[in-house]
Amino acid sequence: MRSEPAGVPEMIAGHAQRHPHALAVTDGQHTLTYGQLVTAARCLADDLAAHGLAPKTAVGLLAPRSVRAVVGQLAVWWAGGHYVPLDPAYPRARTAQMLQDAGVPFTIGDKKPLESAGIPARRSFVLPADMPAGGPTGTPAPPYDAEALAYVMYTSGSTGRPKAVAVPHRAVTRLVTAPEYVTLTPRDRVLFHSPATFDAATFEVWAPLAHGAAVVVSAAEQPSLEDLARDVQRHGVTVAFFTTALFHQLATRRSRVFDVLRTVLVGGEALSPRHARSVLRAFPWLELVNVYGPTEATTFTTAHRVRDGDCDAAVPIGVPVNGATAHVLGADGEPVPPGTTGELWIGGPRLARGYLGRPDHTAERFIEHAAAGRLYRSGDLVSVRPDGALDFHGRVDDQVKVRGFRIEPGEIEHVLREHPAVDEVAVVVRRSETGDARLAVFVVPGEDRWPGIAALRADLAERLPAHLVPDLWTVLERLPLAGTGKVDRRALAERPLTEEPVTEPSAAPAAMSPIQQAVAEVWARALDAPVTGPEADFIALGGHSLLALGIVEDLREELGAEISLPDFFAFPTVAGHAELIERALLERHGDPAQDATEDADEHHA
């Protein structure tokens, strides 16, 4: 008997052989059956090999979510390489840093993102628009090597340099094979809407394909709440993962996305019992699963099926699943009694190799424990309930999670300190009464000429991904210090909300039109701050992508017009949004003034 299950490419090939005409992946415009998926991956793997891809080579993946992107990932595995997911929205410098750090000789993807990232033609490969059809062609899948790398995924690093987590095939295979945390059959359809750079995408793509189910790709560049609902309903999606913050947005609106889904997995931050209970009661058939896990342990480490009774208090993160082990240890490395808070150390076959090219960081986090073997120190504080489920109690360090992204404030602080106009800086998380988490930065200016918050923020946005750019900015004369002499981050996190966000001084706001006033009212509810003029800027007021999702939905419901997220951020003022809404309404209903003129002309005629 084999000690390991078949690798994912082998599983997919088996489904293609047994059920070649079963749906494998669709993005609304393009659809591939299992037979077509395997054919396309084999042919593309041959092309990549001809392009110079040797086994165990890192391949960058720079493409929006699409059928092509799924084929590209599978083809890299088929050719014996491992992929490094990249985000087309990342700053050019960030992408270049990741490619160099991961030792990527060439990158596959779509033509426009490859060109925008400045990757030369000799080091890039454009994914074909049309995938080969017909029977299986090309080379067979390589022999399954459980220890070979499957992908390298980046997380925030406290020193200003992102950390590359090296995940082997063994870990992916154990995550998706016979999952204990969700039911998957060939009749299921799983939503793929996470960025490829977010480890939830590992589940969204490979779990369904390992089980003969279908991947439904949400192809919108920045899917709105309405986009997600349309994709789920149009394609009959049965299983979806949502970050906790996104789930809270959907729950608040009793989104019709829950009408079709059978199972919803939620993770990334603490789950609100109030939101969980409201969804369970409104959609009693729904299976709601609270999941937890760091990238270093391959996506989901623990899971808990949430029931109404769990919502009387904090919802647990559950018990270890699919081979993971959980050890709650004290500072001495010894187990703590049940009910006592300790640090969560994770073991089992789904641990990453470590951090690529960072042996010092690997040694700090991946440790050989005398009694439990190789463990990963998560830095998360938990306690064990009598039934074995884990409760989450926060962090042992300054690391935070915002909208599902793991963030080291030190990375943001490191970049800001390099600016000559910044003397001191601290980044903390602020939480509103609704639980919305937002990054807040407190800056002490240096001796150089102060450029202003807007310029400083723009400079940061050119160097870091959007989720690492703080929403709230405050200028201080000095940072508060705790008794230890360190920055008092708790004091900063608890500063009154009325003192922020700080924006550039401006003239008195102009009067607003009725549509502008309606837009301002929707903004004010979401931002929990007054919006007083047509030139008010969403970003300057502390807005971010998740708040934008809710605002787009509210504008659609209240004003009857929908703004796409790309347009939302391209014209991020009250006046800009009002103009977009006015155009949409005119396109839908026509111009009353023009209609009246035409009627008068006909009458006089």
pLDDT digits (tens, 9 = 90+) for 95-109: 999 999 999 999 999
Q: Determine which of 161-170, 432-441, 585-594 has the lowest per-residue pLDDT on average.
A: 585-594
Q: What percent of the chain has pLDDT over 90?
A: 60
Return d(Cα 94, Cα 419) in angstroms, integer.
17
Token code pair at residue 218? 């949400």
Cα dist from 550 to 366, 489, 556, whole Å? 39, 29, 10
If you average pLDDT over residues 473-484, what whole number do you get? 80
Q: What share of the chain is helix, strand, coil (3-state, %, to 5)?
A: 35, 20, 40
Return d(Cα 258, Cα 273) in angstroms, integer.
17
Q: Is the dihedral of CA 250, 178, 58, 109 positive or negative?
A: negative
Q: Does residue 267 contact residue 243 with C-beta atoms inside 8 Å?
A: yes
pLDDT for position 599: 47
- DSSP-derived 3-state class of residue 174: helix
If you average pLDDT over residues 461-465, what whole number do you get? 88
Q: Across all residues in the chain, what is the average pLDDT? A: 88
The fold for domain 514-589 equals 1.10.1200
Amino acid of residue 586: L
Return left, alpha or beta for 286; rule: phi > 0 is left, psi -120 to 50 is alpha, else beta. Answer: beta
- Place 220 in a pLDDT band, splitting at 50, 70 and 90: confident
Instruction: Name the β-bridge partners of 302.
Output: 292, 320
pLDDT for position 221: 82
pLDDT digits (tens, 9 = 90+) for 318-334: 999 999 999 999 998 99
- Place 407 in a pLDDT band, splitting at 50, 70 and 90: confident
Q: Examine the pLDDT at 57 and tell me if it is beyond 50.
A: yes
- DSSP-derived 3-state class of residue 461: helix
pLDDT for position 214: 98
pLDDT digits (tens, 9 = 90+) for 239-272: 999 998 899 989 988 999 999 999 999 998 889 9
Cα dist from 388 to 277, 293, 315, 323, 600, whole Å? 22, 17, 14, 16, 77
Q: 1-133 has which CATH code?
A: 3.40.50.980
Q: What percent of the chain has pLDDT over 70?
A: 91
Token code pair at residue 47? 């092309």
pLDDT digits (tens, 9 = 90+) for 96-155: 999 999 999 999 999 999 999 999 999 999 998 887 766 666 777 778 899 999 999 998
pLDDT for position 481: 75
Token code pair at residue 480? 């508060």
Q: Does residue 481 contact residue 462 with C-beta atoms inside 8 Å?
A: no
Strands of the 437-445 sheet, one edge to the other: 422-431, 437-445, 472-475
pLDDT for position 355: 96
pLDDT for position 432: 65
pLDDT for position 160: 65
DSSP letters spanning 18-75 = H-TTSEEEE-SS-EEEHHHHHHHHHHHHHHHHHTT--TT-EEEEE--SSHHHHHHHHH
Q: Examine the pLDDT at 497 and tell me if it is beyond 90.
A: no
If you average pLDDT over residues 538-560, what whole number do you get? 87
Give the residue from 384, 402, 343 showing the smallest Cα distance to 367. Answer: 343
Instruction: Please work out, in degrees rounded to the nearest 5, the angle formed at the alpha carbon of residue 379 by the alpha carbons of 376 and 382.
Output: 100
**Which residue's entry shows tokens 């999670």?**
401
Q: 408-499 has which CATH code?
A: 3.30.300.30
Report CA 413 to chain centroid distance, whole Å: 22
Q: Which runs of consecutive H residues, i.e. helices, occur in 369-448?
A: 409-417
The residue extents of the domains of the chain are 1-133, 408-499, 514-589
- Place 499 in a pLDDT band, splitting at 50, 70 and 90: very low
Q: Determine which of 216-220, 441-445, 483-487, 559-563 has the lowest per-residue pLDDT on average.
A: 483-487
